[in-house]
Amino acid sequence: MYCSDETGGIVVDIGSSSIKLGYGGEDVPKAVYPSSYGFNSQDPPTYYLGTQDLNTRRDQMDVFSSFMNGKISNYDAIEKLLDYGITAGLRYKASEHPLLIVEDPFSFAEQRMKLAELMFEKLGFPAIYFIKSSSCIGFSLGKTTCMSVDFGASGIRVVPVYDGYPLMTASAVSPYGGDYLNSLLFDKLSSQKIQVTPHCFLKKQIVEGVVANIQRIDFPNTRASFLKYAIMDIVRDMKECCFHLASKPIKQSPPPTTPISYTLPDNQEVHLDQDAYYIPEVIMTGNGTDEGPPLPNTIYSCIQNCDVEIRKELTSNIVLAGGGCCMKGLSARLDSELSSRLNASFKPKLYSSEPIYSPFNAWTGGSIISSLGSFQQMWISKEEYKEKGREIISSRCN
């Protein structure tokens, strides 16, 4: 057992879009940066980590994701990303603090083992613990029993949590996460022949404080992966600024005709208007294929797959988390859709944090848990791991 006079340690939430890293006991993470990385394979091979380096155009620099289909695919990159966050972001020594790892509730046991080996052997943490993000999301809003609905980049994870423990047999993933919506929006822009040009490819002439002229600059040694990353970062921002879920299904009632526009870096104005409603409608209605049912159906099925005795409590404690839950109109529309599906005696109640805190719900819950005095006996020390390996992680972590 790991023993220390301090509580909290370091908390990390490794997501497919970003990594959140900070001190246990605090409200928000200290460092938030992409889980993608830049890489130049020329001699000597060089990694580029963090928001600033990743957004800086360099000849021959590729940009790769550390994830594939929502799962970690490059552990060497994760090691470098975590080392960067700890040393440059927190200015801590890993060997002096335990680490709480907030993990995807659907992660495989093999991923846990690889991360444990990385944290102990490569980064040198003295103790670690794994906890499911769905449990942390409930804790972030003071709930030990809830229906966790986590709007992530790779999908929307719907997990019932009872007394702090995720009920994985009644859980599901909806495919309509942030990356899916980004792709739909990019396809719409492409079909309209709208070219998105990142800032780094533009030269602006300023006259008396006003942009007088904008020219596109070509850099022939720019890698396609960097260009795609930079373009999709703008598309993501457009989505977050403009998307809105209608209060009723669009097939029943057309969305408002209020103009909705977005100004691209080259001052080109994109008029989304009703597309700002039509594209995210897929969350509530599905896409008409076998990719996945509408989110309200997924949540309803997860509730129905739980024991009858806890369904009402889950229904009255639906917690929305993640950056995607901040979309305008989402909470009200989801409430309406669920109410139409549930028994009249099961009225849904939806909870979420302020938009500025929603992307960090899982991390914040982990921060709260790691700072509890009663939790300190749960840390798995390096010595225990060496002695018992996979068994102790499986038995001690939920």
Per-residue pLDDT reduced to its tens digit, 145-171: 999 999 999 999 999 999 999 999 999
Give the burial class of 206: count Cβ atoms within 10 A of its Cβ; 0-12 exposed, 13-18 middle, 19 or more buried. exposed
- Residue matched to tokens 């950056």: 323
Query: What share of the chain in percent tops pLDDT 70?
Result: 97
CA nearest to 129, candidates 382, 359, 322: 382
Is the sign of the CA dihedral 24, 27, 33, 35 positive or negative? positive
Cβ of 118: how many Cβ atoms within 10 Å? 18
Bigger pLDDT: 137 vs 93: 137
> What pTM does this model have?
0.94
The pLDDT of residue 1: 54
Is the sign of the CA dihedral 182, 135, 1, 20 positive or negative? positive
Specify which residues 121 forms β-bridges with. Answer: none
CA gap 165, 163 in Å, rounded: 6
pLDDT at residue 375 greater than cutoff 60: yes
- Domains plus CATH for the chain? 10-176+357-397 (3.30.420.40), 178-285 (3.90.640.10)
189-241 pLDDT, tens digit each: 999 999 999 999 999 888 777 776 889 999 999 999 999 999 999 999 999 99
The pLDDT of residue 8: 63
Compute the average pLDDT of residues 348-374.
Answer: 96
DSSP letter at 328? B
Say if residues 164 and 171 touch (Cβ distance below 8 Å).
no
Give the burial class of 391: count Cβ atoms within 10 A of its Cβ; 0-12 exposed, 13-18 middle, 19 or more buried. exposed
CA nearest to 150, candidates 389, 318, 388: 318
CA distances from 340 to 17, 52, 296, 304 (A): 33, 46, 10, 15
Compute the average pLDDT of residues 81-104.
Answer: 92
DSSP letter at 360? G
DSSP letter at 378? G
